[in-house]
A and B are shown apart, each in its own frame.
Chain A
Amino acid sequence: MALIKLEQVSKFYETGETRVEALKDVTLEIEKQHFVSFVGPSGSGKTTLLNLIGCLDKPSAGIVYVNAIRINDLATREAARFRGEHLGFIFQNFNLIPVLTVYENVEYPLIMVQNVASNQRRERIMHYLEAVGMLDQKDKYPGQISGGQKQRVAIARALVTNPKLVLADEPTANLDHASAFKVIGLMRQMQHDLKTTFVFSTHDPKIVKEAELVFTLEDGQMTNQESTNPPNSH
Chain B
Amino acid sequence: MIHIFKIAFRNLFRYKRRTLLTGLLIILGMVMVIVFSGISNSFKGMMIGTITDSMMGHLQIHKKGYVSSIDNLPLHLNIAANGIAELRRILDDNDAVEAYSFRIKLGAMLSNFEQTTNIRLTAVYPDMERQTCPSLTDRIEGVTREAEHFVQPGELILPENLAQGLKLQNGDDVVVVATNKDGSVNAVGLKVAGIIEGLLGPSGRDGYMHIHDAKELLRITGDEINEIAIRLNNLDALKKAHKQLDLELQQFKNSQDKPAFELHTWAALSPFSSIATIVDLLIITVKIVLIAIVLISILNVMMMSVYERVSEIGTISAIGTLPSKILALFLAEGFSLGLISTIIGNVLGVTVLYVLNLLQLTVSFGRMKDILLVTSIAPVELLTITVIVLLITVVSSFQPALKASKMQPVEALRHV
Q: Which residues of A contact B (CB under 8 A)?
A: 51, 54, 56-57, 76-77, 80-85, 87-89, 91, 93, 95, 97-100, 108-109, 111-114, 157-158, 161
Known: A77-B322, A89-B319. A99 touches B311 (CB 8 A): no
Please give, as numbers and ranges, the residues of chain A lying within 8 Å of B352 by CB-CB distance.
none
Please give, as numbers and ranges, the residues of chain A lying within 8 Å of B321 by CB-CB distance.
80, 84, 112-113
| B315 and A97 contacting across the interface, CB-CB below 8 Å | yes
| A157 and B312 contacting across the interface, CB-CB below 8 Å | no
| B3 and A91 contacting across the interface, CB-CB below 8 Å | no
Please give, as numbers and ranges, the residues of chain B lying within 8 Å of A112 by CB-CB distance.
3, 316, 321, 325
| A80 and B320 contacting across the interface, CB-CB below 8 Å | yes
Nearest CB of A to B401, in Å? 15
Cα–Cα, bound, A97→B309 (Å): 10
Other A-B pairs, 19, CB within 8 Å; known A51-B410, A56-B318, A84-B319? A56-B410, A57-B410, A77-B323, A80-B317, A80-B322, A81-B320, A82-B320, A84-B321, A85-B320, A95-B314, A95-B413, A97-B316, A98-B312, A100-B10, A112-B3, A112-B321, A112-B325, A113-B319, A158-B319
Nearest CB of A to B347, in Å? 27
Q: Which of A82, A98, A99 has the most CB of B within 10 A?
A: A99
| A95 and B10 contacting across the interface, CB-CB below 8 Å | no
| A95 and B315 contacting across the interface, CB-CB below 8 Å | yes
Could you list some 23 contacts between A and B, CB below 8 A? A51-B410, A56-B410, A56-B413, A57-B410, A77-B322, A77-B323, A80-B320, A81-B322, A84-B320, A84-B322, A87-B320, A88-B319, A89-B315, A91-B315, A93-B311, A95-B311, A98-B312, A99-B11, A108-B316, A109-B319, A112-B321, A113-B321, A157-B319
| A99 and B410 contacting across the interface, CB-CB below 8 Å | no
| B322 and A100 contacting across the interface, CB-CB below 8 Å | no
| A98 and B322 contacting across the interface, CB-CB below 8 Å | no
Nearest CB of B to A210, in Å? 24
Q: Is B409 an interface residue (CB 8 A)?
A: yes
Known: A77-B323, A95-B312, A97-B312. A89 touches B318 (CB 8 A): yes
Nearest CB of B to A42, in Å? 14
Cα–Cα, bound, A76→B314 (Å): 13
| A109 and B320 contacting across the interface, CB-CB below 8 Å | yes
In the complex, the chain A residue whose C-beta lies closest to that of B328 is A112
Cα–Cα, bound, A97→B8 (Å): 12
Cα–Cα, bound, A77→B410 (Å): 14
Please give, as numbers and ranges, the residues of chain A lying within 8 Å of B320 by CB-CB distance.
80-85, 87, 109, 113-114, 161
Q: Is B167 an interface residue (CB 8 A)?
A: no
Known: A91-B413, A109-B320. A98 touches B315 (CB 8 A): no
Which parts of B67-99 form the interface with A (CB within 8 Å)? none
Nearest CB of B to A128, in Å? 14
Q: Is B304 an interface residue (CB 8 A)?
A: no
In the complex, the chain A residue whose C-beta lies closest to that of B409 is A56
Q: Is B14 an interface residue (CB 8 A)?
A: yes
| B318 and A54 contacting across the interface, CB-CB below 8 Å | yes
In the complex, the chain A residue whose C-beta lies closest to that of B315 is A95
Please give, as numbers and ranges, the residues of chain B lying within 8 Å of A51 by CB-CB distance.
410
Nearest CB of B to A77, in Å? 6
In the complex, the chain B residue whose C-beta lies closest to that of A111 is B3
Q: Is B292 an interface residue (CB 8 A)?
A: no
| B14 and A99 contacting across the interface, CB-CB below 8 Å | yes
In the complex, the chain B residue whose C-beta lies closest to that of A97 is B312
Please give, as numbers and ranges, the residues of chain B lying within 8 Å of A100 by CB-CB distance.
7, 10
Nearest CB of A to B103, in Å? 72
Which parts of B253-299 form the interface with A (CB within 8 Å)? none
Nearest CB of A to B203, in Å? 67
Cα–Cα, bound, A97→B317 (Å): 12
Cα–Cα, bound, A51→B409 (Å): 10
Please give, as numbers and ranges, the residues of chain A lying within 8 Å of B318 by CB-CB distance.
54, 56, 83, 89
Please give, as numbers and ranges, the residues of chain A lying within 8 Å of B312 by CB-CB distance.
95, 97-98
Please give, as numbers and ranges, the residues of chain B lying within 8 Å of A88 by CB-CB distance.
319
CB-based closest 7 A-B pairs: A84-B320, A99-B10, A95-B315, A113-B320, A56-B410, A83-B320, A57-B410
Please give, as numbers and ranges, the residues of chain B lying within 8 Å of A56 by CB-CB distance.
318, 408-410, 413
Cα–Cα, bound, A83→B315 (Å): 12
Nearest CB of A to B329, in Å? 9
Q: Which of B316, B318, B319, B408 has the most CB of A within 10 A?
A: B319
Cα–Cα, bound, A51→B414 (Å): 11
Please give, as numbers and ranges, the residues of chain B lying within 8 Å of A54 by CB-CB distance.
318
Cα–Cα, bound, A112→B315 (Å): 13
In the complex, the chain A residue whose C-beta lies closest to that of B9 is A99
Please give, as numbers and ranges, the residues of chain B lying within 8 Å of A89 by CB-CB distance.
315, 318-319
Nearest CB of A to B156, in Å? 79
Please give, as numbers and ranges, the residues of chain B lying within 8 Å of A113 by CB-CB distance.
319-322
Cα–Cα, bound, A139→B336 (Å): 25
| B319 and A99 contacting across the interface, CB-CB below 8 Å | no
B1-13 contact mask (Cβ, 8 Å, vs A): 1 or 0: 0010001001100
Q: Which of B312, B320, B323, B413 has the most CB of A within 10 A?
A: B320
Please give, as numbers and ranges, the residues of chain A lying within 8 Å of B410 by CB-CB distance.
51, 56-57
In the complex, the chain A residue whose C-beta lies closest to that of B321 is A112
Please give, as numbers and ranges, the residues of chain B lying within 8 Å of A108 by CB-CB distance.
316, 319
Please give, as numbers and ranges, the residues of chain A lying within 8 Å of B408 by CB-CB distance.
56
In the complex, the chain B residue whose C-beta lies closest to that of A82 is B320
In the complex, the chain A residue whose C-beta lies closest to that of B412 is A56
Which parts of B365-389 form the interface with A (CB within 8 Å)? none
